[in-house]
Amino acid sequence: MDKSQFIIRALDLYWLNGEKDDVDDLCLHGDVYVQIGEEVVVDNYSCTVSSTAVYLLKSLEEDHIPDEGLNQMLPCCGFFIIPNDHDDTVEISGCANGIDWSVIHTDGYVKLVTEKGTEVKIEKSLYREIVFNFVDKIEAFYRNCKEKSMPTDDFEHSGYIKFWKEWRNRRY
């Protein structure tokens, strides 16, 4: 199975204000290209790529079925980070707009199913490599920006801290 069965690329990365750096914005946005099989799911779609990265990381071990969770794989917005009280995970909430597809694990493979019904099956190890490439590009952008101004609200602060804990636990 080759990498062309699932392509996800961040074409441009930026903060909500359109700038390349913003110490007050915790959620990275970007324009994304996604292709599953022969179907171009989106080209140059603006979304919250920091949320996408976490959802992709979650999908390495968990199935993702549209409408069964709080998120889309490419969420329009993801401005409300909800820390889980029981572990170092988060849910990210935003508006109902976004692009989604299913991720279903089966016998060492990952099946991706688009909203139009396109299906591909790729080896889990290849899926992991593709996800890590995308996630690492997003993380590198954060690292190249100034340190974030941490929220003063305890709930928001905890959410952001757990966001990065979950990221690192799932990535590394």
CA angle (153 as vertex; 71, 28 as ends), nearest 5:
40
How many Å apart are CA 67 and CA 119, to the nearest integer?
18
Distance of CA 150 to the CA centre of its chain: 21
Predicted pLDDT at 70: 62
Residue 1 has pLDDT above 60, yes or no: no
Tokens 């359109």, located at residue: 18
Tokens 């988060």, located at residue: 90
pLDDT tens digits along 88-142:
899 888 888 899 999 999 999 999 999 999 999 999 999 999 999 999 999 999 9
Instruction: State phi, psi for 31 to the nearest 5 degrees.
Output: -105, 130
Predicted pLDDT at 2: 60
85 pLDDT tier (thresholds 50, 70, 90): confident
Which 3 state secondary structure label does DSSP give 30?
Answer: strand
Neighbours of 128 (CB within 10 A): 17
Residue 3 has pLDDT above 80, yes or no: no
Q: Considering its fold, how many domains does the chain have in total?
A: 1
Tokens 């979950």, located at residue: 166
Which element (helix H / strand E) includes 32? strand 29-36
Task: Calculate the alpha carbon distances from 64 to 45, 75, 88, 146 in Å.
Answer: 20, 14, 19, 33
Which element (helix H / strand E) includes 141? helix 124-143
Tokens of 160: 């952001």
Contact 82, 159 (CB under 8 A): yes
Residue type (1 letter), 109: Y
pLDDT tens digits along 23-54:
999 999 999 999 999 999 999 999 999 999 99
How many Å apart are CA 23 and CA 150, to the nearest integer?
9
Most confident by average pLDDT, 15-19, 70-74, 100-104: 100-104
Tokens of 92: 């990210």
Mean pLDDT over the full length of the chain: 93
Domain residue limits at 111: 3-171
Predicted pLDDT at 153: 92
